[in-house]
């Protein structure tokens, strides 16, 4: 039980673009240029990654639901989301 408790604390949390509480106060409302930059960054994602990203972060589906929709495993869905976030972080880095 102790080991499982420690593993649970080490898990990475997933950030959501829709949650303004996760954004710094000064950027809680994105201006038009930021929205354009985000849309361009999303457009650079491969279709498989973008599909999972949109379903999870924008539409709110779970990884299990995404897996069923796309006929992939939920672990594969989580992996694709992680890869999408990594690409977006690189694209949006100032």
Structural domain includes residue 15 = no
Q: Give the tens place of pLDDT for each residue, 30-70.
A: 577 788 888 888 999 999 999 999 999 888 999 999 999 99
Q: Which residues of 32-46 are buried (b: 16+ CB within 10 A; e: fewer)?
A: eeeeeeeeebbeebe
pLDDT for 85: 93
Residue scoring higher pLDDT (26 or 46): 46
Boundaries of domain holding 56: 48-94
Whether residue 2 is contained in a domain is answered as no
Q: What is the DSSP string of 31-92?
A: -HHHHHHHHHHHHHS-HHHHHHHIIIIIS---HHHHHHHHTS-HHHHHHHHHHHHHHHHHHH
Q: How far apart are CA 54 and CA 40, in angstroms?
A: 14
Examine residue 40 and state whether it is found in any structural domain, yes or no: no
Q: Which two tokens stand for residue 64?
A: 């299990």
The total of structural domains in the chain comes to 1
- Measured CA to CA, the distance from residue 58 to residue 46 in angstroms comes to 17
Dihedral of CA 80/82/83/88: which sign? positive
């Amino acid at each position: 039980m102790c080991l499982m408790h420690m593993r649970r604390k080490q898990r990475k949390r997933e950030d959501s673009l829709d949650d303004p509480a996760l954004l710094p106060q000064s950027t809680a409302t994105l201006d038009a240029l930021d929205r354009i930059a985000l849309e361009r960054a999303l457009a650079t994602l491969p279709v498989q990654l973008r599909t999972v990203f949109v379903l999870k972060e924008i539409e709110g589906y779970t990884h299990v639901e995404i897996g069923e929709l796309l006929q992939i495993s939920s672990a594969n869905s989580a992996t694709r989301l992680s890869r999408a976030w990594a690409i977006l972080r690189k694209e949006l880095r100032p």
